[in-house]
Amino acid sequence: MSQPEYRTLREFWPYYLSEHLNPLNRALHVVGSLGVLTLIGLAIGLRDPRYLIPTPFVGYGFAWVGHFVVEKNRPATFKYPLKSFLCDWIMLAKILTFRIGRDIAELEAPAKVVA
C-alpha cells in the first residue's frame, strides 16, 4: 500500500506527527535538533565551519534511533525529505512552547462528522 502524496505541510503534519507519538522518540528528536543548533552556533561563534561537519549525523542520528529503536517505524525522511525536515523544526518549536500536546490530542481524537 503506497502512502498518499501530501501537497502541503498542513496536509503532511498529521502523518508526520503520527510517526512521532512516543515521547521518547520526540525527546530524541529534540536532543538531535538542539545539538544541530549548538553546532551551528559554535561554527558561527568560533568562525570554524568544521563544527558543521557532524550536524547531519547528530540531527539524523538521534532521530533515526528514535524511529528504528523506539517507535519501530521508518523515518518519513526517506519518502518526504523536505517536508519531514521542515516538520522536524515545527515539532521542536511546538515542544519547546508546550503546544505539541494539543496537536497530539487532535490527532488521537475521533474524527468529527460534519452533517
Q: What tens-digit pLDDT sequence spans the chain (115 residues)?
A: 566 789 999 999 999 999 999 999 999 999 999 999 999 999 999 999 999 999 999 999 999 999 999 999 999 999 999 999 999 999 999 999 999 999 999 998 876 655 5
Cell of 47: 568562525
Query: Which letter does DSSP use for residue 79 in this model?
Result: T
Long-range (24+ apart) CB contacts under 8 A made by 57-61 are: 58/32, 59/32, 59/33, 59/35, 59/88, 60/32, 61/32
